[in-house]
């Protein structure tokens, strides 16, 4: 019983890490597009 709960907790952690990585990658891509379109020229 305890082993199942531990496995479920690990699965949730992996899912959260995957979502974090995807979010970070999307943010990085968005930042690249903004710079490529000249958003940095305002400085």
Q: What is the pLDDT of residues 3-26, one digit of tens each?
A: 999 999 999 999 999 999 999 999
Give the C-alpha separation, 29 to 24, whole Å: 9
Residue 2 has pLDDT above 70, yes or no: yes
Where does the pLDDT of residue 31 fall: very low under 50, low under 70, confident under 90, or very high at 90 and above? confident
Whether the predicted model's global pTM rises above the 0.95 cut? no
Give the C-alpha separation, 35 to 22, whole Å: 20
Give the C-alpha separation, 26 to 19, whole Å: 10
């Amino acid at each position: 019983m305890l082993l199942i709960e531990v496995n479920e907790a690990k699965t949730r952690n992996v899912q959260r890490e995957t979502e974090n990585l995807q979010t970070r990658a999307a943010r990085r891509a968005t930042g690249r597009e903004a710079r490529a379109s000249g958003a940095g020229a305002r400085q």
